[in-house]
A and B are shown apart, each in its own frame.
Chain A
Amino acid sequence: MTLEVIAFTLAGLLAAGGAVAVLFVREAMRLMIGLGSFLLGVAGLFLYFGLPFLATAQVFVYVGGVLVLMVFAVMVVHRQADDRPVMEVRHDVGAAAVALAVTVTIVACLRSVVGDALPTPGVYSGVLADELLGPKLLVFEMAGALLLTGLVAVLTIREGEDR
């Protein structure tokens, strides 16, 4: 067994273990650690496949940004004297069905859009930059504008509710 295989196995175990923890652990902070482990595991898998840009972006955006905000939200939960807040899921089956449907949609889209045209590992970040800032610049900017619109919409809706 080579060291690369060991590294791959470790990253896979980290991702799979984290995913299982997210599914079955109910205590809020431990669940977040499970999610962090999953995200780091996925970053490890990206590294294994020679995609350092994606791996670093994964850590920067998801672990250092999104996860921190989620942990922050857990921190401000009101705690009784000695309890540990737990997540209560009332729609297990529905949530699983939505997750499955989203996964199938993403896989189907990626298969038809990307196909065999995946860039060569190693020169990936350069190819990605050329694609995003070249022919796909308009789509890239529109996606950014759409996200910004979504954020403004959420703020507006929240302000309306507060009033």
Chain B
Amino acid sequence: MTLLLGMGWGALGVLVIAVGAIFGVWWERKVSARIQMRLGPQQIGPAGSLQMIADVPKLLFREDIIPARADRTLFKLAPLIVFAPIAIAMVVIPFTSGWAPMDMSVGVLFFLAVPSIESIALLISAWASHNTLSTLGGLRGAAQLISYEVPRSLSVLPLVLLAGSLRPLDIAQRWEWWWFPLTLVAFVVFFIASLAEMNRGPFDMPEDESELVAGYFADYSGMRWAIFMMAEYGAMIVASLFAATTFLGGGWPLSGAAGTVLMVVKAVALVTVIMWVKWTLPRVRPDQLMSFCWKILTPLALIQLVVVGVVLIWL
């Protein structure tokens, strides 16, 4: 029964991410247009909101091209592996203060562990394309994912210390307003490390269009390309939901259904900030990226951990 329930939630997670990606693309177009003083989509539906109804069939019916030199089996497999971990990670997020699709005693660790499988998919797609630009993009992406996993994991630990549990539901239930100022540095570290983990600007070097065309998925087209994009938007949604429920107190100060709505609003606000950052800041260089991770973010996360550890003694 548990297995069936898990599969059901998995399917729902995929649906949420797919629908979220469709709205995310429209929202990003509007946000980027606003930043660049343009209008963005506006012709189809109110404020161009139905533009994606035209875009999705376009992607579905576009020719599916597989390069002659590509490893066909791995080329087809990679988009599936890149998408699955994002959908799976979503199941441990508490959508209200007392309920998560899957209540797991080590949910926080699960949330951090499962998306790391994505880096393998990224490398497989780069390898399967058999193309120099893709290979470079894949290598960049994997190095970035491995490095930023460290500050990202460390940044969640203060919350685990405060809640005394690795269960996301416990963190959501025990959250108090003063946790936010206390773990503000950890929240910023988590946010920046998540940007790098999802390959979003200014850390989008793996798909750097001015140097690598589209990096590890440069040879993909049609629906396979769309799956990569869905995975990117899925990662944004899942990381924002997790940050909203743990660092920002979920539905606080409301509760019940209104709390869930407020939690989603907080997540949408975070997604908007992610887009804002991408369309405002210039892309960093690979050496700057690594230096920032190891010399700034990781020490900051460690200092935050020590501060919370010291504060805990006085509580």
Residues of A within 8 A of B (CB): 3-4, 6-7, 29-30, 32-33, 36, 52-53, 56-57, 59-60, 63-65, 67-69, 71-72, 74-76, 79, 81-82, 84, 125
Q: Find chain B residues with CB under 8 A from A64 CB.
A: 113, 116-117, 119, 149
In the assembled complex, how far is the CB of residue A46 from the closest CB belonging to chain B, in whole angstroms? 11
Residues of B within 8 A of A (CB): 1-4, 69, 71, 74, 104-106, 109-110, 112-114, 116-117, 119-120, 123-124, 126-128, 130, 135, 138-139, 142-143, 145-146, 149, 166
SS of A interface (majority): helix
18 more contacts with CB within 8 A, not counting A64-B116, A72-B143, are A3-B2, A3-B3, A3-B4, A29-B71, A33-B74, A52-B106, A60-B109, A63-B117, A64-B119, A68-B116, A71-B123, A71-B124, A72-B123, A72-B142, A75-B142, A76-B139, A82-B69, A82-B130
Q: Find chain B residues with CB under 8 A from A29 CB.
A: 71, 74, 124, 127-128
> Provided the pairs A3-B1, A29-B124, A76-B139 are in contact, do residues A63 and B69 lie with their beta carbons within 8 angstroms?
no
> Provided the pairs A6-B3, A69-B146 are in contact, do residues A75 and B123 lie with their beta carbons within 8 angstroms?
yes
* CB pair A125 B126 closer than 8 Å: no
Chain B residue with the shortest CB-CB distance to A74: B127
* CB pair B116 A75 closer than 8 Å: no
SS of B interface (majority): helix
Q: 22 pairs across A/B with beta carbons < 8 Å? A: A6-B3, A7-B3, A29-B71, A29-B74, A29-B128, A33-B74, A52-B105, A52-B110, A53-B109, A56-B106, A57-B113, A59-B113, A64-B117, A65-B146, A68-B116, A71-B123, A71-B142, A75-B126, A75-B135, A76-B139, A84-B71, A125-B166
* CB pair A36 B123 closer than 8 Å: no
Chain B residue with the shortest CB-CB distance to A123: B105
In the assembled complex, how far is the CB of residue A2 from the closest CB belonging to chain B, in whole angstroms? 9
> Provided the pairs A68-B123, A71-B120, A75-B139 are in contact, do residues A125 and B106 lie with their beta carbons within 8 angstroms?
yes
Q: Find chain B residues with CB under 8 A from A57 CB.
A: 109, 113
In the assembled complex, how far is the CB of residue B188 from the closest CB belonging to chain A, in whole angstroms? 23
* CB pair B124 A63 closer than 8 Å: no
* CB pair A75 B138 closer than 8 Å: yes
Q: Find chain B residues with CB under 8 A from A59 CB.
A: 113-114, 116-117
